[in-house]
Structure 1
């Protein structure tokens, strides 16, 4: 009898399992958006990250008080976790934010089973973390430049006394007024300070108990209030973000730009639907362009973000979608980036650094020898425009008609400059030497991907043409970033993207106090610093434009950066991706797009 009962129980268990399996199989497949990054993540801690791709990931996890409206053109901010736009004093020195009640962090063991509400103190704590020397924030320059009252002094005290940063010590510049209200006060006017509070990768809220629970491993455990949470993760290989089941009710309510019929139709179709529209975002790290492109063609990726330049002629010859892709229903989206691709010179390096006339001449000669038009045509597949200054398109202060030496290619003038300042071949080996007779060898840091290799070939050809030896130091991008921030590289080529529609973020590349943060070149010129500070205090208008123009002229004259190009991105999306669009100041576009699982092939997922 007992055997019969056990058999019956086992049969019931198997039947229940089978039914559950059927239910799982027959249930709707999760809507998964799949695409690839060309560069690996570095961290998921907003206080630690400075790279575009890590910022993109955490922007879907953490939330800032404000956000940029996704479809709005021109760009505009709106409340996100804030109940309304903040109160701003007439002198742009005081900013008061009130947070919506009833917003909760994603569940996490750090909360010990409690639902944890977002409160004003979370923003105060999260901003203070950038000042804590323990976290070595690469974004600190943005806050110190704004001069929040008392915070830099609190940081300096922690460093001087070699004690932990005192988060509980009151400071005038950052205060919690009540459970849902906090206030920021600045020493100087900052007319564009609010832009920082629309960047969730920078001012997104963390809970103090989560940071204390995970300690130095907080970069592996991001816990926010956003639409997604970190799911599966294989470092430098694959990142999965899952829908946050505790995310509040936020409905699609976007206003498409006039004249864009496709987006107007999307706005009508999606209006009132709850965000995010997809259940999962699956990001693969595919550094080489060819496998990244093939994974899109093979329908293993749903979108191809910034199609690799070497495939531009195949995917969109003459910037028109290829007929074979059009037949498959692929959408093409082409847009300028508010960015700049640069090669920097380490201004503290004994060979290429310094402010003496012969050092300036060396950097200017190297810049004049770079054939940017050839770089755009052969390496970037025509997907860029020559840069004339550091300030990128779509940012206030950018002038498309501006022309400078930065855009010149003139090897003859480069040779003349080198000859005039003593950078000549002294030992007869065919290569130029330093004025003191020691060998001149440039060390250019680079990455092991195909585009970097092509750029290196062009660098070699250009330097050979003016008699300068150059060698390349190859390492993974996160390794180069770490070495660069420590001031250990002679030269490196990087891209810089704006997180806000303003030219200040580009001029910050040359501001002396930002050395080791945005200022990888470690340029520090008092005249430039004064102009940078002047423009940051002025409201947008002719006076500010004049100061910005003078500042960029100094960067061009001293050449701490050779500014190459402003990139144009072309994205492709398969037809089962609904509502695809891009706002270059909204990194977490995923929550606004939809997937049709019935049409989406499941291979590789």
Structure 2
């Protein structure tokens, strides 16, 4: 899940509200846990089966330490700064010490009550951010407007090696000149005083009201480090500092973190003395909960079985701000141009081939059988949680193998040698390399299920290297446009901003398919135009965009997700509802009603 955008994750954070202003990437392709706002639409219906807040009403003890399980089959990477990280496991760690500056309401718009407030000029071209006077870094230094401005400067620097420089940033006055080294400062960012900053935009952008970058970067710590070396520096990897309710006491990178209460937290000291975080393999998560080894986890949907759930836990649930998808490699990221460039000769360049693969996938069956109904077939790249913009009339790629076969036949993909698999239109053997991630027990069956779906329509799809890919390796290959990858399965956490430009824009590094088109450029631009402050106009634009993406099929949305958080019955005062309060405060308010976890 942080700030403007983030990368693909394997499990969405338990406190998605801790990442409300973030575009995150899920490590899907297989398993993953979840989190979204209730809708009546069948695609993501909220069953009401699970409470959204702990029901424990017992008297709380003083202090205590909670044990948090980061469910993952791989170590967390350890890039523990919102400016530089890209994987959700790292975000899972950061939520405890580096929350967003902003609070958000149930509709995901920024509201008062957080570590900073946001207001706009009458023409919506200037945003003013005021940071709470009491907000300090955990090293004792105040969080300043200069720190907030510094984050923009680092992300806009041409030597920045992260993935957050996109259209949200280029819309800031003077940012592109700064990025091109034509200016030493960003003219549109003005530090008013120690705690107040003004940001001027070229064009009014309605997305800023939900998706303004929301993480400062401590200039006293990072100011002397070259931008190109920041992501690998000690303040990111070894001794990260934040301003949240907890601070890092000790860490074994990739394995565990010991947090202690930040007694100087600006809204008051947390109720807990500390939190012990450790990586828990999904294959042992149920037993870890049963034995009390962990108090809280983002629970993998594929392991949900109400008949065998431990009796010492309570299951909380909410619909995810996320979707799974199948991506097609259509080109490369051109670093010199700072944009995606399509390759007309790419193996997956034929639109009919992509559409056919979408129709061949039985996502409804996947959701029911592999995820116990906690995932449902997705129809659009705008999730139903964005109720003003999601278009339920769009049916997407419903399971229709006969239509898939017809599309392939018409496009010239036919079996010419009688081996059961179709050749390409030129008569050449067609083998499609499929990158899918490792994970929990569903990872392999899920990948093989889709491979069989495609085989049923005559397509020869093989797992890349004959195996599932480990999380970090998977994204390294996807981001670097490994030529051996033809298709890949992953997932996106959308964050709270409906604007999809950060994932599918021409200059978006997260556009892993490398898809571009003039119509896409036009619609994405219109979606954040001044006219788009009129919600009806913006809704129509995004309806057209959803239809375009279904037609062009650079990616195929596969599953919407329902997220579960398992908590030990000694946990009190914990709420996962959107708009229930500032993310840092939600964590600071957690209490325990027993010294030791309840066991079964």
Shorter chain as normaliser: what TM range? 0.7 to 0.9
Report if the CA contact (8 A) 2:296-2:566 is conserved. yes
Quick one: structure 1 residues 395 and 554, their matched pair in 2 at CA, closer, same or farther if it must change by over 3 Å?
same
TM-score under structure 2 length normalisation = 0.79
1:594 & 1:298 partners in 2: Cα distance?
20
Report if the CA contact (8 A) 1:277-1:593 is conserved. yes
Aligned ranges 1:215-234 → 2 under 5 Å: 215=230, 216-217=232-233, 218-220=235-237, 221-234=239-252
1:305 paired with 2:340, answer: no
Q: How big is the shift at 1:291?
A: 0.6
1:73 & 1:558 partners in 2: Cα distance?
30
Q: Match for 1:389 among 357, 372, 380?
A: 380
Q: How big is the shift at 1:447?
A: 2.1
Instruction: Find the counterpart in structure 1 of residue 253 from structure 2.
Output: 235
Q: Match for 2:119 among 87, 95, 110?
A: 87
Instruction: Find the counterpart in structure 2 of residue 35 from structure 1.
Output: 69
Report if the CA contact (8 A) 2:143-2:216 is conserved. no
Q: How big is the shift at 1:567?
A: 0.1
2:185 & 2:348 partners in 1: Cα distance?
48
Q: How big is the shift at 1:206?
A: 2.5
Q: Match for 1:573 among 560, 567, 571?
A: 567
Q: Match for 1:154 among 178, 201, 205?
A: 178
Quick one: structure 1 residues 584 and 231, their matched pair in 2 at CA, closer, same or farther if it must change by over 3 Å?
farther
Q: How big is the shift at 1:88?
A: 0.7
Q: How big is the shift at 1:540?
A: 4.9
What's the secondary structure of 2:545's corresponding residue? Answer: helix
Quick one: structure 1 residues 340 and 170, their matched pair in 2 at CA, closer, same or farther if it must change by over 3 Å?
same
Summarize deviations over 1:202-232 as a string: whole Å, max 9, x none.
x244234246368432421321222222233
Instruction: Find the counterpart in structure 2 of residue 16 from structure 1.
Output: none
1:498 paired with 2:498, answer: no
1:176 paired with 2:191, answer: yes
Instruction: Find the counterpart in structure 1 of residue 27 from structure 2.
Output: none
Quick one: structure 1 residues 498 and 581, their matched pair in 2 at CA, closer, same or farther if it must change by over 3 Å?
same
2:597 & 2:359 partners in 1: Cα distance?
49
1:345 & 1:372 partners in 2: Cα distance?
17
Q: Match for 1:331 among 314, 318, 328?
A: 314
Report if the CA contact (8 A) 2:330-2:348 is conserved. no
TM-score under structure 1 length normalisation = 0.78
2:194 & 2:342 partners in 1: Cα distance?
55
Q: How big is the shift at 1:599?
A: 4.3
Q: How big is the shift at 1:170?
A: 3.0
Summarize deviations over 1:574-602 as a string: whole Å, max 9, x none.
21000122135876543232223424269
**Larger-Rg structure:** 1
Q: Match for 1:453 among 417, 423, 444?
A: 444
Q: How big is the shift at 1:130?
A: 1.0
Unaligned 5+ residue runs, structure 1?
1-26, 108-114, 159-165, 251-273, 316-321
Instruction: Find the counterpart in structure 1 of residue 53 from structure 2.
Output: none
1:172 & 1:138 partners in 2: Cα distance?
22
Aligned ranges 1:66-81 → 2 under 5 Å: 66-68=102-104, 77-81=111-115
Summarize deviations over 1:285-328 as a string: whole Å, max 9, x none.
234x321222112211112323432333535xxxxxx6x72xx4
Aligned ranges 1:121-140 → 2 under 5 Å: 121-140=146-165
Q: How big is the shift at 1:54?
A: 2.0
1:98 paired with 2:130, answer: yes
2:130 & 2:151 partners in 1: Cα distance?
16
Report if the CA contact (8 A) 1:63-1:80 is conserved. no
2:131 & 2:583 partners in 1: Cα distance?
22
Q: How big is the shift at 1:412?
A: 0.8
Report if the CA contact (8 A) 1:64-1:205 is conserved. no
What's the secondary structure of 1:337's corresponding residue? Answer: strand
Summarize deviations over 1:36-68 as a string: whole Å, max 9, x none.
232643311222223333223223323544223
Which structure's relative contact order is higher, taking Cα pairs within 8 Å and 6+ residues apart? 2
Q: Which has the higher helix share?
A: 1
Quick one: structure 1 residues 485 and 396, their matched pair in 2 at CA, closer, same or farther if it must change by over 3 Å?
farther
Indicate the RMSD between aligned Cα atoms, in angstroms. Answer: 3.0
1:528 & 1:364 partners in 2: Cα distance?
18
1:568 & 1:63 partners in 2: Cα distance?
23
1:35 & 1:392 partners in 2: Cα distance?
28
Aligned length: 513
Instruction: Find the counterpart in structure 2 of residue 543 from structure 1.
Output: 537
Quick one: structure 1 residues 65 and 560, their matched pair in 2 at CA, closer, same or farther if it must change by over 3 Å?
same
1:75 & 1:195 partners in 2: Cα distance?
5
2:520 & 2:178 partners in 1: Cα distance?
28
Q: Match for 1:418 among 408, 416, 422?
A: 408
Instruction: Find the counterpart in structure 2 of residue 193 from structure 1.
Output: 208
Structure 1 segments of 4+ aligned residues over 6 angstroms from their partners: 349-358
Q: How big is the shift at 1:508?
A: 3.8
2:181 & 2:364 partners in 1: Cα distance?
50
What's the secondary structure of 1:428's corresponding residue? Answer: coil
Instruction: Find the counterpart in structure 2 of residue 592 from structure 1.
Output: 589
Report if the CA contact (8 A) 1:352-1:363 is conserved. no
Report if the CA contact (8 A) 1:278-1:590 is conserved. no
Summarize deviations over 1:249-268 as a string: whole Å, max 9, x none.
x1xxxxxxxxxxxxxxxxxx
1:433 paired with 2:445, answer: no
1:103 & 1:131 partners in 2: Cα distance?
25
Report if the CA contact (8 A) 1:52-1:497 is conserved. no
Q: How big is the shift at 1:345?
A: 0.5
Quick one: structure 1 residues 462 and 63, their matched pair in 2 at CA, closer, same or farther if it must change by over 3 Å?
closer
Q: Match for 1:359 among 350, 355, 373?
A: 350
Quick one: structure 1 residues 483 and 60, their matched pair in 2 at CA, closer, same or farther if it must change by over 3 Å?
same
1:601 & 1:366 partners in 2: Cα distance?
47
1:212 paired with 2:227, answer: no
Summarize deviations over 1:360-402 as a string: whole Å, max 9, x none.
0000000100001111122222111221101113225443733
Report if the CA contact (8 A) 1:105-1:246 is conserved. no
